[in-house]
C-alpha cells in the first residue's frame, strides 16, 4: 500500500515534555506541600529532572515495560516521576493510598511493580505493606525527613544527559486500577498514543478551557484517573500548574487567591466541602473562571452556587477506563439566549463528547436505543482512549466492534448531551420502572439544610424495590422528614418519593471520594420499611 508523504512522528508523550521545555521553559509549576511550605519550579527544570530520573531508574536496572509505582499526592516530584518513568519506557503505576490493605496488596503484586516512590505521609502504609509486596525491590521517598535522603538526592546523582527511549506509539505507559466495588481491582493499561490523543482532545476549549493564560489547580489526585489528564495537558498548553498535596478547603482557597487560580477541577465532594467553608468564612476566589466537576453527578444546587459567584461550570463524565474524559459540558450555540434555569439544566447533564469518543445506549437485549432524550439504557462507548482489555485479562472488555459497557445508565438527548441517570447497579427498580437514585439525591441536596444524601433500593414485597433516602443534615440543623418531603415533592415524580428517610451522621465514601452505595446497602441490608404493604403508593 502506498503511504502518504508526511512525516512519521510517533505519538509518544515524551514529546509533551520536550514541547514544554522548548516552548514554555519558564512556565511555572507551584507545589503546596503537606507541611505547609510552597516550592516553585518550571517546565524546563521538570524536563531536566525527569531525564535524571530516567537515568537513575536505568541505573537500578529497570527496563522498558517494567512497572514503576507511585503512592503520592500531587506535587512537583510526582510530576517529574510521571515523565521520568515513561521517558525511559517504563509503565507508571499510580496507586491510590486510600485503598484497603488487601487491595493495595493485590494491585502492587498483580502489577509486579519493581520500584515504589512514596510520600513520607504514607510511610505507615509502606511499612505495613512491605512484607506483603512481593516484587518491589526499591522504595524511594519523595519528601524524606531532613536528616534522610530520598528522591532529590537519588536523581541529583545523575547528569540529565539522556535521550528518551523511543518506541512504538502503541507501547504502554501507564497503569491505573479501578477501585473495584466488587471482586479484585482491575488494571487499565494506557498507551503513549491513547494518552496523546486524549491530551489533544483535552485542548479543545469545550473541555476544560485550558490555555497558556490559565492557572490551573487540579483538586484531583494524580493517582485517580491521571488527575483527569491535567499534568499532560499542562505540558502541552504551558498553563501555570498549581499542585497541592493537601485538599483542605482553607488551603485550596488560599492557593486560589495567592496563585490567582483561574481553572480548577474536582469531584462533587471536594466542592461540597469548599462551599461549606466559603459559606462559613466568607472567603472569595476573585480569579477563578472555570471549574470542571466530574467523577459523580454534579448537583444543580452546586452548579448554581458556583455560577452565582461568576464561575463557569463544566460537568464532565468519564472513567478510569476512558483515560478518563468521556464527555464534558460547555455552552452550546444559542447559550446567551437561554434563560438562567435552562443553562443550569444544560450543565446538570453530563455534557457532550469530544471528537474521539462515540457513545450509544442499549437495552437489556443489546438493541441500540434512539437518542431521543427519553429512552434510557446501558451506556456504551468506544474510541482510541477507551479500554479494550483489562491488564492481564484473558478476554476483551469491549465487544468485537469496540463497544465498552460502562456500567452506567444514561439518556442521550437530540442536542448531543448525555445524561447519566444511574450506575446500573444503583438504579432502584420499582414495579418494573426505574427510579434514578442520582436524581433523588440531587433533589434532596437542593434543600439548603441537606449536606449530602444517598438513595438506595430496599426490597419491597409488592414493588420489588422502593427508595430509602439517607440524609446528612448540614451543620447541625434539625430539618424534619416532612420538610424534606415537601421539598422533594416539587422536584420528583410522586412515585419516586422515598418510602422512608433516615438521618445519618455521615455517608460512606469510596477511595475516590464517591458515595459507596455498596457499603450503604450493606449497612442497611436488613432494613425493611415498616408496614410495607400499607405504604405502597402512599405518595
Torsions phi, psi for 433 (to 5 deg): -105, 160
| Catalytic-residue membership of 58 | no
Using the rule CB under 6 A, give the single segment among 34-42, 86-94, 313-321, 524-532 that binds ligand AMP.
313-321
Q: Which of 324, 354, 356, 383 binds ligand AMP (CB under 6 A)?
A: 324
436 binds ligand AMP (CB under 6 A): no
Q: Whose Cβ is closer to ligand AMP: residue 193's or residue 514's?
A: 514
| Catalytic-residue membership of 158 | no
439 binds ligand AMP (CB under 6 A): no
269 binds ligand AMP (CB under 6 A): no
423 binds ligand AMP (CB under 6 A): yes
x-or-dash string of contact with ligand AMP, 217-246, rule CB under 6 A: --------x---------------------
Using the rule CB under 6 A, give the single segment among 61-69, 191-199, 257-265, 400-408 that binds ligand AMP.
400-408
Q: Whose Cβ is closer to ligand AMP: residue 268's or residue 356's?
A: 268
Helix intervals (H) in 140-239: 151-156, 192-202, 230-237
Task: Please give the biggest Cα pair distance in the chain.
Answer: 77
Q: Whose Cβ is closer to ligand AMP: residue 317's or residue 390's?
A: 317
Q: Which residue has the cell 485517580?
A: 224
62 binds ligand AMP (CB under 6 A): no
> Which cell goes with 226?
491521571
317 binds ligand AMP (CB under 6 A): yes
> Which cell goes with 122?
504514607
Q: Give 168's DSSP letter.
A: -
Q: Whose Cβ is closer to ligand AMP: residue 151's or residue 317's?
A: 317
Is residue 410 packed enough to be buried (19+ CB in 10 Å), middle (13-18) or exposed (0-12)? buried
Q: Whose Cβ is closer to ligand AMP: residue 209's or residue 295's?
A: 295
What are the E-state strand segments in 353-498? 358-362, 376-382, 404-412, 418-423, 428-430, 433-435, 450-460, 464-473
∠411-414-416 over CA atoms, to 5°? 80
Determine the length of the chain: 539
240-244 and 28-32: which strand pairing?
Answer: parallel
Q: Catalytic residue, from 178, 195, 327, 421: name it.
A: 178
Q: Which of 97, 294, 498, 513 binds ligand AMP (CB under 6 A)?
A: 294
297 binds ligand AMP (CB under 6 A): yes
Q: Are 466 and 430 in contact, with CB atoms under 8 Å apart?
A: yes
Helix intervals (H) in 132-267: 151-156, 192-202, 230-237, 249-258
178 binds ligand AMP (CB under 6 A): yes
Q: Catalytic residue, from 260, 289, 388, 429: name it.
A: 429
Residue 475, beta-bridge partner list: none
x-or-dash string of contact with ligand AMP, 510-539, rule CB under 6 A: --x---------------------------
Q: Whose Cβ is closer to ligand AMP: residue 253's or residue 347's?
A: 347
State whether residue 267 is helix, strand or coil: coil
Q: Whose Cβ is closer to ligand AMP: residue 272's or residue 319's?
A: 319
Q: Which of 179, 199, 269, 430 binds ligand AMP (CB under 6 A)?
A: 179
Q: Which of 17, 32, 72, 319 binds ligand AMP (CB under 6 A)?
A: 319
Q: How far is the CB of 190 from ligand AMP (least distance, A)?
A: 13
Using the rule CB under 6 A, give the single segment among 54-62, 195-203, 368-376, 406-414 that binds ligand AMP.
406-414
| Catalytic-residue membership of 321 | yes
Q: Whose Cβ is closer to ligand AMP: residue 41's or residue 226's?
A: 226
Nearest Cα neighbor of 316 from 411, 405, 417 is 417
Nearest Cα neighbor of 245 from 93, 427, 33, 404 is 33
What distances in angstroms separate CA 209 from CA 257, 264, 444, one per listed residue?
19, 10, 31
Q: Which of 31, 199, 350, 442 binds ligand AMP (CB under 6 A)?
A: 350
What are the E-state strand segments in 95-249? 113-118, 138-141, 172-177, 187-191, 215-218, 240-244
Nearest Cα neighbor of 202 from 321, 357, 22, 30 is 357
User: Residues in contact with ligand AMP, total (CB under 6 A)?
Assistant: 21
Gap between the Cα atoms of 202 and 187, Å rounded: 23
Q: Catalytic residue, from 76, 158, 259, 321: name it.
A: 321
| Catalytic-residue membership of 45 | no
Which positions are annotated as active-site residues? Answer: 178, 321, 429, 434
Q: By the criterion CB under 6 A, which residues form the site for ligand AMP?
A: 178-179, 225, 294-297, 315-320, 324, 350, 406-408, 420, 423, 512
Amino acid at each position: 500500500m502506498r503511504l502518504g508523504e508526511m512525516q512519521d512522528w510517533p505519538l509518544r508523550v515524551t514529546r509533551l515534555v520536550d514541547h514544554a521545555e522548548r516552548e514554555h521553559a519558564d512556565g511555572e509549576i507551584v507545589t503546596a506541600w503537606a507541611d505547609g511550605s510552597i516550592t516553585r519550579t518550571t517546565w524546563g527544570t521538570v524536563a531536566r529532572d525527569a531525564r535524571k530520573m530516567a537515568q537513575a531508574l536505568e541505573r537500578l536496572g529497570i527496563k522498558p515495560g517494567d512497572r514503576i509505582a507511585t503512592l503520592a499526592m500531587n506535587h512537583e516530584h510526582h510530576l517529574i516521576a510521571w515523565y521520568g518513568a515513561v521517558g525511559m519506557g517504563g509503565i507508571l503505576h499510580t496507586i491510590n493510598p486510600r485503598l484497603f490493605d488487601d487491595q493495595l496488596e493485590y494491585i502492587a503484586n498483580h502489577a509486579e511493580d519493581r520500584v515504589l516512590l512514596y510520600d513520607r505521609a504514607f510511610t505507615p502504609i509502606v511499612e505495613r505493606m512491605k512484607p506483603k509486596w512481593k516484587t518491589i525491590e526499591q522504595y524511594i521517598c519523595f519528601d524524606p525527613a531532613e536528616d534522610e535522603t530520598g528522591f532529590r538526592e537519588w536523581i541529583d546523582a545523575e547528569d540529565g544527559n539522556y535521550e528518551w527511549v523511543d518506541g512504538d506509539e502503541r507501547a504502554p505507559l501507564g497503569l491505573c486500577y479501578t477501585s473495584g466495588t466488587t471482586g479484585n481491582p482491575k488494571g487499565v493499561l494506557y498507551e503513549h498514543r491513547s494518552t496523546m490523543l486524549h491530551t489533544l482532545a483535552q485542548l479543545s476549549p469545550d473541555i476544560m478551557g485550558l490555555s497558556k493564560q490559565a492557572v490551573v489547580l487540579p483538586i484531583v489526585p494524580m493517582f485517580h484517573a491521571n488527575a483527569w489528564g491535567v499534568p499532560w495537558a499542562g505540558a502541552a498548553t504551558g498553563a501555570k500548574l498549581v499542585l497541592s498535596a493537601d485538599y483542605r478547603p482553607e488551603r485550596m482557597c488560599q492557593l486560589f487567591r495567592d496563585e490567582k487560580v483561574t481553572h480548577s477541577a474536582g469531584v462533587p465532594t471536594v466542592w461540597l466541602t469548599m462551599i461549606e467553608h466559603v459559606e462559613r468564612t466568607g472567603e472569595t476566589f476573585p480569579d477563578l473562571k472555570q471549574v470542571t466537576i466530574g467523577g459523580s453527578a454534579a448537583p444543580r444546587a452546586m452548579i448554581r452556587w458556583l455560577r452565582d459567584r461568576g464561575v463557569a461550570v463544566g460537568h464532565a463524565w468519564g472513567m478510569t477506563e476512558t483515560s478518563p474524559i468521556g464527555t464534558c459540558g460547555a455552552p452550546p450555540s444559542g447559550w446567551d439566549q437561554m434563560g438562567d434555569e435552562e443553562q443550569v439544566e444544560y450543565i446538570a447533564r453530563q455534557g457532550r463528547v469530544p471528537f474521539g469518543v462515540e457513545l450509544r445506549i442499549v437495552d437489556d437485549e443489546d438493541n441500540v436505543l434512539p437518542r431521543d432524550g427519553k429512552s434510557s439504557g446501558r451506556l456504551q462507548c468506544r474510541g482510541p482512549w477507551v479500554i479494550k482489555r483489562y491488564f492481564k485479562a484473558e478476554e476483551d472488555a469491549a465487544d468485537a466492534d469496540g463497544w465498552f459497557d460502562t456500567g452506567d445508565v444514561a439518556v442521550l438527548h437530540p442536542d448531543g448531551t448525555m445524561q447519566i441517570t444511574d450506575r446500573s447497579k444503583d438504579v432502584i427498580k420499582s414495579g418494573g420502572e426505574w427510579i434514578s437514585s442520582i436524581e433523588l439525591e440531587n433533589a434532596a441536596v437542593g434543600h439548603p439544610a441537606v449536606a449530602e444524601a444517598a438513595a438506595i433500593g430496599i426490597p419491597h414485597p409488592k414493588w420489588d424495590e422502593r427508595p430509602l433516602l439517607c440524609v446528612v443534615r448540614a451543620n447541625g440543623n434539625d430539618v424534619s422528614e416532612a420538610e424534606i418531603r415537601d421539598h422533594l415533592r416539587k422536584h420528583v415524580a410522586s412515585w419516586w418519593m422515598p418510602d422512608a428517610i433516615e438521618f445519618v451522621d455521615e455517608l460512606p465514601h469510596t477511595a475516590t471520594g464517591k458515595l459507596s452505595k455498596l457499603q450503604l446497602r450493606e449497612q442497611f441490608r436488613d432494613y425493611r420499611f415498616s408496614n410495607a404493604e400499607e405504604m405502597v403508593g402512599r405518595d
